[in-house]
Protein backbone atom coordinates (compact mmCIF):
# COMPACT_ATOMS: atom_id res chain seq x y z
CA UNK A 1 0.00 0.00 0.00
CA UNK A 2 2.83 2.34 0.85
CA UNK A 3 4.48 1.82 -2.54
CA UNK A 4 1.20 2.61 -4.28
CA UNK A 5 1.00 5.95 -2.47
CA UNK A 6 4.63 6.69 -3.34
CA UNK A 7 4.00 5.98 -7.03
CA UNK A 8 0.89 8.17 -7.01
CA UNK A 9 2.78 11.07 -5.43
CA UNK A 10 5.66 10.79 -7.90
CA UNK A 11 3.24 10.64 -10.81
CA UNK A 12 1.40 13.72 -9.53
CA UNK A 13 4.65 15.67 -9.19
CA UNK A 14 5.80 14.77 -12.70
CA UNK A 15 2.43 15.77 -14.23
CA UNK A 16 2.55 19.11 -12.40
CA UNK A 17 6.09 19.74 -13.66
CA UNK A 18 5.04 19.06 -17.27
CA UNK A 19 2.08 21.41 -16.96
CA UNK A 20 4.29 24.21 -15.69
CA UNK A 21 6.88 23.65 -18.44
CA UNK A 22 4.31 23.98 -21.23
CA UNK A 23 4.57 27.26 -23.15
CA UNK A 24 1.78 29.14 -24.80
CA UNK A 25 1.73 29.20 -28.59
CA UNK A 26 2.61 32.91 -28.60
CA UNK A 27 5.59 32.36 -26.26
CA UNK A 28 6.90 29.54 -28.43
CA UNK A 29 6.38 31.60 -31.59
CA UNK A 30 8.35 34.50 -30.07
CA UNK A 31 11.18 32.16 -29.07
CA UNK A 32 11.36 30.67 -32.57
CA UNK A 33 11.30 34.16 -34.13
CA UNK A 34 14.22 35.20 -31.96
CA UNK A 35 16.26 32.19 -33.15
CA UNK A 36 15.41 32.85 -36.81
CA UNK A 37 16.40 36.51 -36.55
CA UNK A 38 19.64 35.55 -34.77
CA UNK A 39 20.52 33.58 -37.92
CA UNK A 40 20.18 36.76 -40.01
CA UNK A 41 16.86 35.97 -41.67
CA UNK A 42 14.91 39.17 -42.33
CA UNK A 43 11.93 38.18 -44.49
CA UNK A 44 9.84 35.38 -43.04
CA UNK A 45 6.49 34.64 -41.48
CA UNK A 46 5.44 32.41 -38.62
CA UNK A 47 1.83 31.32 -38.37
CA UNK A 48 0.01 29.35 -35.70
CA UNK A 49 -2.45 26.98 -37.38
CA UNK A 50 -4.56 24.03 -36.23
CA UNK A 51 -2.67 20.78 -36.78
CA UNK A 52 -5.29 19.47 -39.21
CA UNK A 53 -4.96 22.50 -41.48
CA UNK A 54 -1.22 22.23 -42.16
CA UNK A 55 -0.75 21.58 -45.88
CA UNK A 56 2.31 20.23 -47.67
CA UNK A 57 4.24 22.85 -49.58
CA UNK A 58 2.88 25.80 -47.62
CA UNK A 59 5.83 26.16 -45.28
CA UNK A 60 7.79 24.14 -42.79
CA UNK A 61 6.45 23.10 -39.39
CA UNK A 62 8.97 24.40 -36.85
CA UNK A 63 7.05 23.83 -33.62
CA UNK A 64 3.88 22.57 -32.01
CA UNK A 65 1.90 23.77 -29.02
CA UNK A 66 -1.28 23.08 -27.06
CA UNK A 67 -0.39 19.41 -26.80
CA UNK A 68 0.12 19.06 -30.56
CA UNK A 69 -3.25 20.60 -31.42
CA UNK A 70 -1.58 23.57 -33.13
CA UNK A 71 1.54 23.89 -35.27
CA UNK A 72 3.85 26.82 -35.95
CA UNK A 73 4.59 27.09 -39.67
CA UNK A 74 7.61 28.98 -41.06
CA UNK A 75 7.52 30.49 -44.55
CA UNK A 76 10.05 32.63 -46.38
CA UNK A 77 8.65 35.87 -47.71
CA UNK A 78 9.95 38.26 -50.28
CA UNK A 79 9.83 41.97 -49.81
CA UNK A 80 10.80 44.52 -52.40
CA UNK A 81 14.13 46.20 -51.85
CA UNK A 82 13.81 49.46 -49.98
CA UNK A 83 14.28 52.52 -52.14
CA UNK A 84 16.82 55.06 -50.97
CA UNK A 85 15.29 58.35 -49.85
CA UNK A 86 14.95 60.92 -52.63
CA UNK A 87 17.52 63.70 -52.54
CA UNK A 88 16.18 67.20 -52.16
CA UNK A 89 16.17 69.22 -55.38
CA UNK A 90 19.13 71.58 -55.71
CA UNK A 91 18.48 75.17 -56.66
What are the tens digits of pLDDT across the range 7-21?
444 555 444 445 546
Which pTM does this prediction carry?
0.61
Q: In sequence order, which residues have a C-beta less than 8 Å from that of residue 1 and are 6 or more positions away?
A: none
Q: How many residues does the chain have?
A: 91
Residue 2 is predicted with a pLDDT of 57
What are the tens digits of pLDDT across the range 31-90?
999 999 999 998 999 999 999 998 888 899 999 999 999 999 999 988 644 444 555 555
Amino acid sequence: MRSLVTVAVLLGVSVAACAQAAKTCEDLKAEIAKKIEANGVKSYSLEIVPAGQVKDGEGKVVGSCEGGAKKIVYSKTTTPAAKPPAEPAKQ
